[in-house]
A = this chain, B = another copy of it.
Amino acid sequence: MSLLGAIEAGGTKFVCGIGKEDGTVLERISFPTTTPEETMAQVVSFFEGKGVEAIGAGSFGPIDPVKGSPTYGRITTTPKPHWSQFDMVGYLRSHFNVPIEFDTDVNGAALGEYTWGAAKDADSCLYITVGTGIGAGAVVNGELVHGLSHPEMGHIMVRRHPKDSYEGTCPYHGDCLEGVAAGPSLSRRWGVQGAELTKDHPAWEMEAYYLAQALMNYILILSPQKIVMGGGVMKQLQLFPLIHSQLQQLLGGYLQLDETNANIADYIVPPQLGDNAGLCGALALAKKALAEA
């Protein structure tokens, strides 16, 4: 079985791994994200001489994942110092003569859960991460969704919870979904980190209200066969039943589908790849690169 290289390029840390086409990770390493020169040198040094036959990179963004575009392969307008316009695919190509697949971290995670995880029996799925930010990736008819660029589902508009007076953290939209429901909004609204709030704190009902609204829109627009919710905030597993019931209330019986009714607890689920979701996502991108080469 071929050896594959996986890069989970996060804004705080990079995780690199060597894995196989069945999703097994044989070896992994992690280091902080500093400058492209320093960080990418560590990436190259990890993979050199290991004989990987393809590399997949799931990256923080925004990025340009559209093949054929003049800026394909770059991290584009990130506010992260030093990384704006960095040509990651160009850099990797200059060191490794193997097929490379480059996408957002969440598209990678969606493909990983679709290939080996919670959505492996579906034709379509949505992976959402709720953490420092909110992002999502989608697989439709077995393919990742790109189009004009990559989805930016975290920034959709939501209705305000009637008891929420917090103005929102998003520098572009104020109180878009990410502005009112990502980790930083939780801690600013309640004055303590989300993880320190008790499991019956009203924060979770409000959080579930916003996430259920987002899911309603995602379901009505994409109709995914499975929804996987990961990221730091979703480690608060009490959110799942709250989201299930709020979503059913919002849908008002409109969709007469088992998935949104009796079987909702099997429809909206935590990642099966757990903390490996990001790295396995990059591995799934590498597998794709090899298959399409």
Q: Is A266 among interface residues, defined by CB-CB distance under 8 A?
A: no
Within 8 Å by CB of A223, from B124, B143, B149, B155, lies B149
- Interfacial chain B residues near A151, Cβ < 8 Å: 220-223
Q: What size tier do the contact residues of chain A reach?
A: 35 or more
Within 8 Å by CB of A141, from B140, B172, B259, lies B140
| CB <8 Å contact, B218 and A221 | yes
| CB <8 Å contact, A256 and B76 | yes
| CB <8 Å contact, A150 and B223 | yes
Instruction: Looking at the assembled complex, report how far the CB atom of A261 sits from the nearest CB atom of chain B, in whole angstroms.
Output: 12
- Interfacial chain B residues near A155, Cβ < 8 Å: 220, 254
Report A246-281 CB contacts with B as 1/0, cut-off 8 Å: 000011111111010000000000000000000000
Which secondary structure dominates chain A's binding surface?
A: loop
Report A131-157 CB contacts with B as 1/0, cut-off 8 Å: 000001010110101111111111111
Instruction: Looking at the assembled complex, report how far the CB atom of A252 sits from the nearest CB atom of chain B, in whole angstroms.
Output: 4
- Interfacial chain B residues near A252, Cβ < 8 Å: 172-173
| CB <8 Å contact, A148 and B224 | yes
Within 8 Å by CB of A145, from B140, B148, B152, B253, lies B140
Q: Given the interface contacts A172-B254, A218-B221, A220-B152, does A213 sit within 8 Å of B145 by beta carbon?
A: no
A216 to B253, CA, bound (A): 25
Q: Is A245 among interface residues, defined by CB-CB distance under 8 A?
A: no
- Interfacial chain B residues near A138, Cβ < 8 Å: 221
Q: Is A225 among interface residues, defined by CB-CB distance under 8 A?
A: yes
Interface set of A (CB-CB < 8 Å, partner B): 76-77, 123-124, 136, 138, 140-141, 143, 145-160, 172-173, 213, 216-225, 250-257, 259
Ordered by A's residue number, 11 sampled pairs between the chains whose C-beta atoms are within 8 Å are A76-B256, A77-B256, A138-B221, A150-B223, A151-B220, A154-B220, A172-B252, A172-B253, A217-B217, A218-B221, A222-B222
Ranked nearest first, the 7 interchain pairs of A and B with the lowest CB-CB distance are A147-B223, A124-B147, A172-B254, A172-B252, A141-B143, A148-B223, A156-B217
